[in-house]
Structure 1
Amino acid sequence: MVKVFLNVSKEVQRQRLQERLDDPEKRWKFRKGDLDDRKLWPEYAQAYEDVLTRTSQADAPWYVVPADHNWVRNLVVAKVLLHHLERMKPRLPESEEGLEGLVVE
């Protein structure tokens, strides 16, 4: 299991929320409750920390990924997934016998 927490700073969250308000095509992502939730930033931060601490295990740790810049987020998540896939050494399944020479008409 791979658990990834995308960590966005308060300032970047503010910018993204404002962009949603300013851009009619993004406005659907915004709800008025987002403004109330922002006032609870310290409480949310503590709750996230508590959850990550309580649910992180040696065989299933949390990866806290900085997500202020999408390219950084994407790169870090890709590297984490690649690392785990390489450790798993996945293989293609065996094919059915007797398929050599068959032609699809």
Structure 2
Amino acid sequence: MSQQLMGILPMLLVFVAFYFFLIRPQQKRQKERTQMLGNLKKGDKVVTIGGLHGTIVELGEEKVTLKVSDNTRLVFERSAINSVANAEEAGAAKSAE
């Protein structure tokens, strides 16, 4: 009986290590990203996955229209938004104080 347990124990430890080092952090990042995409609003300064910086001028269920210059507006899928620049600037300002 203890020989069987000793044979299974390393596999169990590997699974636990994979869960805590790979699976759990990925789930946490995905949850934060989903929350960020859900909290988008007009006027937010965002960065797309491709590195394009712009300001949200129109927001739909699946599409986001960004103003990238005075005359240029581009339409993206909501999932193409990588980060909100407003949140990063606010966090940097708080840490500086």
Could you state the TM-score of these two structures normalised by the residue count of structure 1?
A: 0.19
Q: Which structure is higher in strand share?
A: 2
Task: Specify which structure has the bigger relative contact order, considering alpha-carbon pairs within 8 angstroms and separated by 6 or more residues.
Answer: 1
Could you state the TM-score of these two structures normalised by the residue count of structure 2?
A: 0.20
